[in-house]
């Protein structure tokens, strides 16, 4: 399989700074296409949200190159790699807690991460950023960690709770989409599948589509930062 990837990252029209961070890495493991996708959304109600999201994004990207690629080289990689990613997030949690103790800065971030190899993927998720699988239908893969409308799980603030871990498979032509809540909050039903589906097999097309969707959401009144990553699974040669 081959992957087409695209990203969209926008401060939006109302926020003074962008507290979202993301990482999108494509590599080959044993001759097969593999990818690492991550979206972190710093908690806006706490100080230094952009610091928390940037720190976790950098730490997990380093983990992917240091450890994740090696673990994904196994034929049965998903559970081992996901468990190692959760452990790496726990280490990031400890560092953010130490920052709070020593510097008096309490900060946190959501984290939604995908490890993909061939047609298989593992998701690690904490917070209210989201992951979708877009194929014959639009399927929300994650659940928002909210209680009474308030975020109740993240990396950093609130203490550490085990992230959700789930596994899945992509069909040729399917898309995996990760996004912050600024991108998902005002999504009309079916908007992702109508906006991203099609026969066009060029990465530039998906950049344009994500940008157009972000512009639509801001025009509808979305005030938050907006981030979205898209990965399309294609047969070799670029056809879905």
Section 102-120 average pLDDT: 92
- Per-domain residue ranges for the chain? 2-234
Q: Is a pLDDT exceeding 90 seen at residue 210? A: yes
Span 2-234: which CATH code?
3.60.40.10
pTM score: 0.94
In this predicted model, what pLDDT tens digit does every residue of 24-83 receive, in sequence order? Answer: 999 999 999 999 999 999 987 666 789 999 999 999 999 999 999 999 999 999 999 999
**Would you say residue 107 has pLDDT above 90?**
no
**Three-class DSSP labels, the chain:** CEEEEEEEEECCCCCCCCCEEEEEEEEEECCEEEEEEEEEEECCCCCCHHHHHHHHHHHHHHHHHHHHHHHHCCCCCHHHHHHHHHHHHHHHHHHHHHHHHHHCCCCCECEEEEEEECCEEEEEEECCCEEEEECCCEEECCCCCEECCEECCCECCCCCCCCEEEEEECCCCCEEEEECHHHHCCCCCCHHHHHHCCCCCCHHHHHHHHHHHHHHHHHCCCCCCEEEEEEEEECCCCCC
Q: What pLDDT was estimated at residue 16?
A: 83
pLDDT above 70 for 161: yes
pLDDT for 34: 98
Average pLDDT, whole number, for the chain?
92
């Amino acid at each position: 399989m081959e992957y087409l990837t695209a990203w969209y990252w926008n401060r939006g029209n109302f926020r003074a700074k962008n507290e979202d961070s993301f990482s999108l890495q494509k590599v080959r493991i044993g001759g097969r296409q593999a990818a690492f996708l991550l979206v972190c959304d710093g908690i806006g109600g706490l100080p230094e949200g952009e610091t928390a999201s940037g720190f976790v994004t950098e730490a997990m990207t380093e983990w992917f190159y240091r450890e994740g690629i090696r673990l994904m080289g196994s034929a049965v990689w998903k559970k081992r790699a996901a468990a190692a990613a959760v452990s790496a997030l726990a280490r990031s949690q400890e560092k953010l807690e130490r920052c709070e103790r020593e510097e008096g800065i309490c900060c946190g971030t959501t984290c939604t991460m995908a490890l993909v190899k061939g047609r298989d993927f593992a998701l690690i998720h904490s917070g209210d950023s989201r992951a979708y699988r877009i194929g014959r239908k639009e399927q929300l893969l994650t659940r928002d960690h909210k209680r009474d409308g308030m975020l109740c799980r993240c990396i950093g603030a609130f203490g550490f709770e085990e992230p959700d871990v789930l596994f899945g498979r992509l069909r040729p032509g399917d898309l995996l989409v990760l996004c912050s809540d600024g991108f998902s909050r005002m999504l009309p039903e079916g908007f992702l599948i109508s906006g991203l589906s099609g026969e066009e097999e060029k990465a530039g097309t998906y950049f344009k589509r994500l940008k157009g969707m972000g512009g639509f959401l801001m025009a509808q009144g979305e005030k938050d930062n907006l981030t979205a990553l898209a990965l399309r699974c294609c047969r070799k040669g670029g056809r879905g």
